[in-house]
Structures are given as structure tokens and as C-alpha cells.
Amino acid sequence: MTGTERREYFRIHDRLPVEFRKISADEFSKLQDFIRYNATQVTDKLNEAYFLKERMIQTESDQTSIFMGIINKKLDMIIDLLYRSRKSDTHHKRLVDVVISGSGIQFESDILISENDYVELKVVLPVFPYPTITALCRAVRNVAPERGGFHAYDTAMRFLVINEKDRDLLINYVFLKERERLRLLKESAS
């Protein structure tokens, strides 16, 4: 790392589903308060799933109703994902290799996003129950190397607006993946 390069957050390489669309400055203004002050709905589901065993479950019917509630929320999430995929042609969905941290994301796409464009970005984290992190970003870099006649844009975006709970969830995921990588390195060295 050079003396001028300072990182705010640790970053990892991963393959994640992303959904993005360019937005105008007016849309950015309209969306920023909603995104900043509303955490992803799945955050509550994470607490339900991980801390279910710690709850005092009195009877079998209590346990059944808790599991039915979790299943109901999962079905709502699936229906929402299916509905969104049909209703909007402006969102671009990709499963891509990313470099991600708590401050931004970098990935390759066939969609041109110019420097300084505003982007609404959604990233699905592959941990149960698959939370979707939503952020408003600004494209900070866009390089277009040509590879055998195919144009792929290497785009880097900085998170300008993200809910802090969602950022914490993303940072926890980054640390989880890094611990997993280090463990695999240690096991392969032995």
C-alpha cells in the first residue's frame, strides 16, 4: 500500500448477485432518505433465524407458529424477488465477480456506467436468509478494455448512501468470507 492510498474498510473478492440501474440526481434526492433510514427488511429475519434457539419456547404450538412466521417471510421475499424481476426493465441483474467492502464495490459489466453517474445498487449476500443490501452509489471509475471484440466495463462505485445496519451486515459478511479464506489457506498448508 502506498502512502497516498488509504482504505476505510477491508475488501474481499467474491461472486455475488447484483442488481443496478442508473438514476438521475432527482431520483437520488428522493431515494436517499428512504435508504438511509430504512434497513433491509431481512435484517429482522436474520435475528429471528439466528436467535430462535435462545427464545423461551413454552409449547410445541409456540414453536410451530414461530417457524410458520419465518416461512411466511421467506415466501414474501421470494414473491417480491419474482415480481421485481418482471416489473422493471431498467434494472440490470448479474451474477458477477466483485471486489466489495463497506465503502464500495467493483465489478465488470456489459452496461456502460459513466464516471460520476448515480446508481441504485442492490447486492444479495449469500448467507441465510439472503439479505439484500441497497445503496445509492456514484461511479468513480469506468475502464473499458476490449477483450476479443467483447466490450466489458470495469466499473467501481462508492457507496454514498447506505443504511448503517446494512453496512454492518455487509462488513460482517466480508469478515466471515475472509476468515473462511484464511482457514482454507491454513488447512491447505498443513
Q: The CATH number of the domain where 27 resides is what?
A: 2.40.10.220
Q: Is 79 a member of any domain?
A: no
Q: How far apart are CA 187 and CA 190, in angstroms?
A: 5
- Kindly state whether residue 160 falls inside one of the protein's structural domains: yes
Residue 84 lies in a domain: no
Number of domains making up the chain: 1
Predicted confidence pLDDT, tens digits, the chain (190 residues) = 455 556 677 789 999 989 999 999 999 999 999 899 887 754 444 444 444 444 444 556 677 877 777 777 777 767 766 665 554 556 788 888 999 999 999 998 888 888 999 999 999 888 877 788 999 999 998 887 666 666 788 899 999 999 999 999 999 999 999 998 899 999 988 7
Any domain includes 104: yes
63 occurs within a structural domain: no
Distance of alpha carbon 118 from its chain centroid, rounded? 17
Residue 156 resides in a domain? yes
Strand pairing partners for 153? Answer: 109
Find cell 482457514 and name the residue. 183
What distance in Å separates the CA atoms of residue 101 and residue 182, rounded to the nearest whole number?
Answer: 17
Query: What is the domain extent for residue 174?
Result: 12-39+91-189
> Could you tell me if residue 62 is inside a domain?
no
Q: Which three cell numbers stand for residue 91?
A: 434494472
Is 131 part of any domain?
A: yes
